[in-house]
Amino acid sequence: MKLTTERPYANPEAAARKLVELAAAIEPVQDGRIHIEKINAPFLYTWKASGPEFGAGIKLAVDRGWLELHESGTYVRLLKPGEDLLAS
């Protein structure tokens, strides 16, 4: 008997890749900025991930150089390695 559901984004690598994919699908506003809520809402509500999974995914994406997170936490920028990540 299985009492819990599968959590595909419990793995930070999978969460980071999904966040980069979501960021790449959004038209950036000024200076390549993507408002954090544009990736947060679909990740949490459409893909049914959790807040800690979002946090771990963002942290890993920033650490790997896929996303740049502004110090205010209000927006991200997709970096070149993240664009290469989408091709693979």
Cβ atoms of 55 and 16 within 8 Å: the answer is no
Tens digits of residue pLDDT in 16-29: 999 999 999 999 99
pLDDT value of residue 43: 97
CATH number of 12-87: 1.10.10.10
Q: 16: helix, coil or strand?
A: helix
pLDDT value of residue 80: 75
- All structural domains of the chain with their residue ranges: 12-87
Tens digits of residue pLDDT in 45-71: 999 999 999 999 999 999 999 999 999
Instruction: Place 83 in a pLDDT band, splitting at 50, 70 and 90.
Output: low
> Which residues are within 8 A (CB) of 76 and not within 5 positions of it... i.e. 6 or more apart?
23, 33, 34, 36, 39, 58, 67, 68, 69, 70
Single pTM value for the model:
0.87
Cβ atoms of 44 and 2 within 8 Å: the answer is no
